[in-house]
Amino acid sequence: MRSDIPVDAPLRPIGGSAALAANHSPMVMPAPRELQLGSGRLPVTTAWSVAVRGHDDAQVRAGFARALRRAEERTGLTFSRLPTGEFSLEGEASRAGFVIECAGPSQTVPTLGEDESYTLEVTAVQVVLRAPTGLGILRGFETLLQLLQADASGWFLPTVSIRDEPRFPWRGLLIDVARHWQPLDVILRNLDGMALVKLNVLHLHLTEDQGIRIESRKYPRLHELGSDGHYFTQEQIRKIVAYAAERGIRVVPEFDVPGHATSWVTAYPELASAPGPYSIERQWTVFDPVLDPTNPAVYAMLDGFLGEMAALFPDAYVHIGGDEVTGVHWSGNQKIQTFIGENDLKDNAGLQSYFNRRVHAILARHGKRLIGWDEILHSDLPAGIVVQSWRGPEGLADSTKRGFTSLLSHGFYINFNEPAGMHYLNDPVPAGTALTLEQQSLVLGGEATMWSEWVSSETIDSRIWPRTAAIAERLWSAQTVCDVSDMYHRLSFVSRRLEEAGLQHESYRDPAIRRLAGDTAAPADLEALRTLVDLLEPVSSRRRTVLQLGYSQFTPLTDLADCARPDSKLARDFANGVAVLVRARDDCATRTEAFSRQLAGWRQAATRLEQGLCVHAPRLQAAAPLAAALVALCDIGQTALQALADKRAPQPGWLQTQFTKLDVAAQSVAATILPMVAPLRLLAVAAAEQDRRTQLSDDDWEQHLLTHGA
Amino acid sequence: MRSDIPVDAPLRPIGGSAALAANHSPMVMPAPRELQLGSGRLPVTTAWSVAVRGHDDAQVRAGFARALRRAEERTGLTFSRLPTGEFSLEGEASRAGFVIECAGPSQTVPTLGEDESYTLEVTAVQVVLRAPTGLGILRGFETLLQLLQADASGWFLPTVSIRDEPRFPWRGLLIDVARHWQPLDVILRNLDGMALVKLNVLHLHLTEDQGIRIESRKYPRLHELGSDGHYFTQEQIRKIVAYAAERGIRVVPEFDVPGHATSWVTAYPELASAPGPYSIERQWTVFDPVLDPTNPAVYAMLDGFLGEMAALFPDAYVHIGGDEVTGVHWSGNQKIQTFIGENDLKDNAGLQSYFNRRVHAILARHGKRLIGWDEILHSDLPAGIVVQSWRGPEGLADSTKRGFTSLLSHGFYINFNEPAGMHYLNDPVPAGTALTLEQQSLVLGGEATMWSEWVSSETIDSRIWPRTAAIAERLWSAQTVCDVSDMYHRLSFVSRRLEEAGLQHESYRDPAIRRLAGDTAAPADLEALRTLVDLLEPVSSRRRTVLQLGYSQFTPLTDLADCARPDSKLARDFANGVAVLVRARDDCATRTEAFSRQLAGWRQAATRLEQGLCVHAPRLQAAAPLAAALVALCDIGQTALQALADKRAPQPGWLQTQFTKLDVAAQSVAATILPMVAPLRLLAVAAAEQDRRTQLSDDDWEQHLLTHGA
């Protein structure tokens, strides 16, 4: 799979300003199905005792120990333990502060559609967590940890009554470990993050043109020649599968065939459709190397390899990719074209269908079901497979209409560095869907996709989190839970919890900034650089591939674009504030003061950078245009704010001049953009045309802003 | 080994102010034996080609690849590679930008005393790195990476001529993975840090009363019952040994016997000297459980176990601990006392000597040499063993006088959280040593000791680094390299390099502070808390054990004392500045202004905390006295500065009142101290007694300050 698919850029959603939102829901994310918040509280102290009722197993006990340890690290409290190191449990539920009531065990490894429901009752004297399975208990622990909070009188849980279960049974995160290798600890800490937001499928994209990232004992040439030594050993895979299972997460491996296969044919050129030799790719685009579906040795190898993998991964599904076959090498091979003719396969697409059917049969023999990207739709495959839609919203409709269970990934491409709010509103089955109820029932859920063209093990957390929590909520919570502002409010809390669980989406940044600034930067230089970085966003991965000439897998990902994070909170809050300001009818002088102060601070930082690091630090010289653009933006904003406060529009022609400057500032520089450009355009229009504001109705003004400001 | 040994607290060394130090040596640490800095530069560009002359092996190539990757990540440059992913090398040395000339291979795994020397010539056109062994080449890479720097015209190396080799052959870091478990990634990243400062021995303290942290296939009860599941598998040990060897680092395992043995007898109570059952300890002190030296089964087990370990660890040395046997269980066991009598062993000490001799023989059979803590000196052991001195400076003298090769760890106890400058001046063979030349030649070097009573995998880097770099320099560089101010200057650069290599001594702090402050802290609250934390130091590990009532292995190490780091730079710089100020004779009005501004900022932060987080955040309520103390200290400082500026001493009695306040502020709170107390005491004395300044000679004033101010 590659990431540069043609999607229409959605409008940046503008929620209400966080400052204005009065009554947010409790900080739980994903939002539970039913939640009744009381007005009381249950103080959390180390005097608590815990009782387990009903089924009592190792998964629940281990999950409880992990949850309590996280509570300890956050609160500083130490709960009592037995000499064995286990937490002490007592049998007497009526006296216990915390009662866990589990009706029965989960599967040894989690399976699709397993019951994840739970109920949670927090009263002023007791917590009772009930679930039909251990899996539900685990989900309940995560909710409890998010409810845990503090004020001046100490740590407590609010009294609350929750009945919860997921909307979709397949809530996944794909991690591409092939284009940029991601070692074991990246996977493990992201499994912790997934569990925290109740995601339940880790989709490991293990093979690509750039690498085979898993040890094959049957075909060791695969990882020996196709990995630069960077691959998971089978021991590590077992560790990943076990770690995931403990957290109620399935692991679905992907072995992409017949295309995206340069690494396969690097090891086995005799299986290719064109003569070798091959070597693994160091850049990314769609490459031509492809397995030869007319070669019986291909199926023999796949049978052996997939058999080996089937034993390693307990999940019922194996992903075979199946995307982006160019057909160039097939068209250029007379033997293959003859085979197509002799077997009535019509064309290259027919040949791929034939290939898919044979791989389907191989998987079936090994007891596995097939999942593939939406290109496999063209194959004449039996029901029971899963189609993963990535190319457009119509993919999901197509595949469910043909009766296939389906997953949505289109709109969940987190490598595009788009705002969480956009992903959040990307409902697999939106209100007013044209799908029939039966078709709707075929939608299993979706997966966020972390394609790794432009992420290292240092930056990957910042591309996954916290935005993927918004996708997790989309897939767990009801369709009607879709208030973007409320989501962002809760996201800021969940982001803290993710950080506490070991994710590095925040902590990676300061070391990266220090490295970029170099040894001679003063503290004030670093502070200025932090401000600029907070206002930047990295361009999408597909755009960076275009912008960054001469890039390769070896390009160090320690640049400004790597320090910048998607979905700038600073820019978003500013945009939300401006959106309110430009729609207001009242005197906005007092409102403008805070904006003006903020702009002055940003301008000061930009000026310091222009004269300092952008001159002296070789790694920041390319950022000089960004500092200059930020100065220009702040100046536009100050003039506009002053004009609004004065109730006098700037002189004629001013707006056009600002548009020119805004267009310059909107250009990407060093693979980053300044998302502040859009709100400043709005602000400029509102200031220049403030006379029309009084003449127009609210609706007409809104329309005018959209037309001229966006 | 435990950490609460009775050492005299050394005076905090006061180097010259960093701001005043004019000509620092180049940023290399440890300082090379000979270094001639030129005035030219060699620009570093991706057009560089590299030639390897002479011996060319995998260790050098892999080391080169790692070094170049680190240079890439720091500079953002991408050096050219072959399609295989390897860096391209060319044979033609005369044209190459970088020539590596290695005379011969190193040992497969590094050994004690192996040649680590190298020479480095950087001219305006070429780098030539020469060494007799691959090990020397590796050391040279580290020097080069530290020389690499940038200015406005780009990245370059200064022209320089270096001839370098270590003073001592054994330069170690001990990591105790037993009291608090430290997983694989902690060990690996610390090996990277060790290599960066040319340390060459990782001493793994693998067994303790609190745990057995290694898998034994012969005696699986050891790790099964003695580890809570936290131990290194043999596969992981092989990984550690290989990773270390690639970096020219030996791995010496320690299995502490016959004392510190609660974990051994938890698994095998029949080997104990008193009846069981036992369970592993969760606190730390010196415990009584001890193996029974009169029981043949003890030696049978040790023979089997040490044989298994001897095969796993290729190094010639195995550490048997041998420290802190209380003898209580021996004295209480009639059978053991009878054995002592029958075998003419005299007393418990004689019994331990007997035990040591037998273990020595076992190790010898497995081809290993014995190393132990200085208590083993009492044993009648043959030469060839190594004695590690920890209890006092006289230990090293004692053991070399008896003809034993010896190591110094006394004074390198980094868990005491003392300043780097103190460790730096702790020379194993100081100028004017009473040791004969022959005795001096028996001093192999030393080891920093990271005892883990109060470190988690999150905080451990901040307790090891950057201070251990100062110890590394002490052990590598000449006795005459001992300018504390210059060391601190270079330490700040090395600290950056360590961070870039993946150490988390800086990056762990901000997440820890956010967790401590809680969800409701505003950015300004966090900033105030950062200021306070920067001014704090954690008390020593032994003191914390006394202060923190009811502590255990399970106490979460996420407290204020864990956020605070040893050797506060902010406090040190302040102290250095004050030291200059109070000794000055001239009008210090201008000098006082900067101090006054700094104190005002700190006071503001402290006041904000007093009214904010110290009230509302439950985890910071215990820090309220610190905020109050900081306010008081700042007020004392401001009054003193004003009095100095006005040339008028405060009213009589003022100083005594301040002493009372200073004594309060000197108390530890929440297991932290404010090192600012000492310089403020000096400042108060200088202000109150300024009239005497004019009357006294410089020397007498100095004496007066030391008497009344310290």
For chain A, give the mean pLDDT: 93
| Active-site residue, from A142, A324, A418, A447 | A324
Contact present, A688 and A654 (Cβ < 8 Å): yes
What mean pLDDT comes out for the span A553-566? 97
Q: Which pairs count as long-range contacts for B274-282, CB under 8 Å and 24+ apart, including other chains?
A: B274/B329, B274/B332, B274/B333, B279/A83, B279/A84, B280/B209, B280/B210, B280/B211, B280/B225, B280/B226, B280/B228, B281/B209, B281/B210, B282/A81, B282/A83, B282/A85, B282/B210, B282/B552, B282/B553, B282/B554
Range of weakest confidence among A294-298, A661-665, B43-47, B334-338 = B43-47
How do beta strands B34-43 and A672-673 pair?
A: unpaired
Closest-approach residue (CA) in chain B for A518: B150
Helix, strand, or coil (residue A282): coil
Query: What are the mean pLDDT values of chain B's consecutive 10-residue runs (710 residues total)?
Result: 36 31 66 95 89 88 94 95 78 82 92 98 96 97 96 95 98 98 98 98 98 98 95 97 98 97 97 95 95 98 98 98 95 97 96 96 98 89 91 89 95 98 97 95 98 98 98 98 96 97 97 96 97 98 94 96 98 94 75 91 98 97 98 97 92 95 97 97 93 86 79
| Subunit contact B279:A75, Cβ cutoff 8 A | no
Residue with tokens 């690290």: A73
| Subunit contact B507:A506, Cβ cutoff 8 A | no
The half-sphere exposure of B535 on its side-chain side, counting CA atoms within 13 A, is 30
Q: Choose among B27, B155, B559: nearest Cβ to A76.
A: B559
Q: Choose among B153, B520, B619: nearest Cβ to A76.
A: B619
Report the candidate in B586, B583, B606 with the shortest Cα–Cα distance to residue B704: B583
pLDDT of residue B336: 98
Contact present, A374 and A401 (Cβ < 8 Å): no
What mean pLDDT comes out for the span A400-413? 96
pTM greater than 0.90 (yes/no): yes
Domain boundaries, chain B: 34-164, 170-500, 509-709
Q: Choose among A78, A151, A518: nearest Cβ to B554.
A: A78
Contacts of A520 (CB under 8 A, 6+ apart): A616, A617, B151
pLDDT of residue B709: 67
pLDDT band at residue A18 under the 50/70/90 scheme? very low
A324: annotated active-site residue: yes
Predicted ipTM of the assembly: 0.93
pLDDT band at residue A2 under the 50/70/90 scheme? very low
The half-sphere exposure of B284 on its side-chain side, counting CA atoms within 13 A, is 27
Residue with tokens 């000791």: B449
Query: Residue A583: pLDDT above 90?
Result: no
The catalytic site residues of B sit at 324
* CB contacts, 8 Å: B84 with chain A: 279
Closest-approach residue (CA) in chain A for B226: A84
Q: Considering only residues 274 to 293 of chain B, which have any Cβ-Cβ distance to chain A shorter than 8 Å?
A: 279, 282
Q: How far apart are CA B473 and CA B667, in angstroms?
A: 33
Q: Considering only residues 598 to 627 of chain B, which have any Cβ-Cβ distance to chain A shorter than 8 Å?
A: 615-619
Query: Residue A16: pLDDT above 70?
Result: no
User: What is the CA B452 to chain-centroid distance, rounded?
Assistant: 12
Determine if the peptide bond prior to A428 is cis (ω within 30°).
no
The full length of chain B comes to 710
Q: How far apart are CA B145 and CA A685, in angstroms?
A: 52
What mean pLDDT comes out for the span A128-154? 97
Q: For A227-264, how does the pLDDT look when each residue is reduced to its tens digit (9 = 90+)?
A: 999 999 999 999 999 999 999 999 999 999 999 999 99
Token duo for residue B188 = 């690996």
Query: Residue A364: pLDDT above 90?
Result: yes
* CB contacts, 8 Å: A506 with chain B: 510-511, 514
Q: For A339-360, how does the pLDDT look when each residue is reduced to its tens digit (9 = 90+)?
A: 999 999 999 999 999 999 999 9
Residue with tokens 């004695």: B387
Q: How far apart are CA A389 and CA A318, in angstroms?
A: 16
Q: How far apart are CA A97 and CA A529, in angstroms?
A: 49
For testing contact with chain A, the best of B278, B554, B573 (most A CBs within 10 A): B554
Q: Which fold has domain A170-500?
A: TIM Barrel (3.20.20)
pLDDT of residue B18: 31
Q: How far apart are CA A223 and CA A237, in angstroms?
A: 14
pLDDT band at residue A709 under the 50/70/90 scheme? low
Is B73 in the A-facing interface, judged by CB distances under 8 Å?
A: yes
Contact present, A679 and A599 (Cβ < 8 Å): no
Pick the CATH number of A34-164 from 3.30.70.1350, 3.30.379.10, 3.40.50.720, 3.20.20.150: 3.30.379.10
Determine if the peptide bond prior to A258 is cis (ω within 30°).
yes
* CB contacts, 8 Å: B559 with chain A: 76
Query: Residue A326: pLDDT above 80?
Result: yes
What is the percent of chain A where pLDDT is above 90? Answer: 83
Query: In Å, how far are A639, A641, A647, B116 from A588, measured between CA atoms?
Result: 14, 9, 9, 71
Query: Residue A1: pLDDT above 60?
Result: no
A80 min Cα distance to partner chain B (Å) = 9
pLDDT band at residue A84 under the 50/70/90 scheme? confident
